[in-house]
Amino acid sequence: MKALLKKYTHLGFEIGLLFKGIFALCEILGGFGLIFLTPDRMNRIIDYIVRGELNEDPKDFIMNHLVVFGLNFTIDTQHFWIFYLLSHGIVKLTVILLLWRKKIWAYPVSVAVFIGFIIYQIYHFTHSHSILLLILTVLDIILIWLTILEYNDARKKHKTKSEEKGENTT
C-alpha cells in the first residue's frame, strides 16, 4: 500500500511539473509576444473585434470591458507584463528543469520559489479577487507538498547511493 501511495505521489509530482512547465513556456511566449503588441496595435485589434458587436449591442458587457482594457494598456503596462511574464516564466521553467534532472539542491530552492509565487498571487488576489489566482495558489500548495515528499525520497536515494560508494554523508 505504501509503495502504491509513493507511486501516485510521484506521478502527481511529475504531472504537476509538466503542467507548470507548459504554463511557464506559455508565459515566456506571451512575454515575447507582448514585445510586438504595442498599445496602438492592441487598440486596433480591439477596435476590429468590438466594432460590430457594440453597434448591435452598445451595452455588451464583455466588449465594453475589452475597450476599457485597451484604453488602460499603456507602454508602462506593456513593459511591466513583458518583464513579469518573461522573468516569471524563465525562473519557473529553470526550477522545473532542475527538478526533472533530480538536482537535490533544487528541491528546497523550488519550494522557496513557489512560496514566493504564492505570496505574490495572494497579494495580487487582494486587489483583483480573481478566482484563477486562488486556483493557481491551491495548485502551487499541492505542488509544494508533492515536492517536499519527492525531496525526502530523493535525499534517501542520494544518501543510499553515497553510502554504497563509500562517501561520507555527514
In the predicted model, what is the mean pLDDT of the chain?
Answer: 89
Helix (H, G, I), strand (E, B) or coil at 59: coil
Give the global pTM: 0.74
Mean of the pLDDT values across residues 75-84? 88
Residue 161, pLDDT > 80, answer no
User: Which residues have a Cβ under 8 Å from the Cβ of 146 and sit 6 or more positions away?
Assistant: 9, 12, 13, 16
Q: What integer is the mean pLDDT of 143-170?
A: 82
Residue 4 burial (CB count, 10 A): 8
pLDDT (tens digit per residue) in 103-119: 999 999 999 999 998 99
**Residue 77 clears pLDDT 90, i.e. is over it:** no
Which residues contact residue 88 at a Cβ distance below 8 angstroms, ignoring those fewer than 6 apart?
A: 24, 27, 117
The pLDDT tens digits for 8-17 are 988 999 999 9
Query: How high is the pLDDT of residue 107?
Result: 95
Instruction: Identify the CA nearest to 143 among candidates 107, 91, 97.
Output: 107
Whether the per-residue pLDDT at 138 is higher than 60: the answer is yes
* CA–CA separation, 125 and 13 (whole Å): 25
User: What pLDDT, on a 0 to 100 scale, did the predictor assign at position 131?
Assistant: 87
Q: Residue 1's pLDDT is what?
A: 80
